[in-house]
Amino acid sequence: MKCSKGDGVVDGFTLVELMLVISLGMLFVAMALGVITRDLSLGHAMAQRLRERGLQKRTLMLIKADLARGYGWLADPPISNLWPCSLAGRQPVLAIATAPDDPEVRRRAIIYSVGPAPSPIWRSQVLMRCGPAFDINGEPNLAGSFQNRVLIDGLPSSLSDGELGFVARQDPLLPVLRLELEQQFQTPDGKMQRIRSAASA
């Protein structure tokens, strides 16, 4: 700060002092913006994680409900020409019989399959359900036509052990079917994040 020699009156700041203060102010603002941006990115990633976990939970609940209503199931079933929907290159993971006279699940069955998305709006691999639509009471209309519908997207093309993003397998110790579902997506900072859920039916 510049002062007069005679009476000690302050004349004002020098140009160097003003530039130093402005630089410090800009540095502070940049640091504050960086903190805010990181907080927003973290909040977005957490919100996305909660949303995807909720979708996984609802998907597993639907599969469990189909299993509870069905007359039998088959994990990793061979493809049947009598199934009501075309798989279009997807791999069948779980087939559920909808009639008591179809123990081999070869005819009018509910099929869960994993494979390429049917349109570009979906991310990566998808889990699809070929099955009856639901009526206004939430019950499946077995008399109606079966439809292919995407349940959830973002499944990895393959896991580290070579399995798909959706797995159904018999529990080795208990008389239950283990269901495992995994998604992967890119966070705002460019990192890949995986979310995994499991259930028994």
pLDDT tens digit string along 61-71?
999 999 999 99
pLDDT level of residue 28 (50, 70, 90 thresholds):
confident
Q: What is the per-residue DSSP string for the chain?
A: -EE-TTT--EEE--HHHHHHHHHHHHHHHHHHHHHHHHHHHHHHHHHHHHHHHHHHHHHHHHHHHHHHHSS-EEESPPP-TTSSS--TTPEEEEEEESSTT-TT--SSEEEEEEEE-SSTTS-SEEEEEEEE-B-TTS-B-TTS-EEEEEEEEEE-S--TTS--SEEEEE-SSSSSEEEEEEEEEE-TTS-EEEEEEEEE-
pLDDT level of residue 6 (50, 70, 90 thresholds):
low
Supply the pLDDT for residue 180. Answer: 94
**All structural domains of the chain with their residue ranges:** 52-200
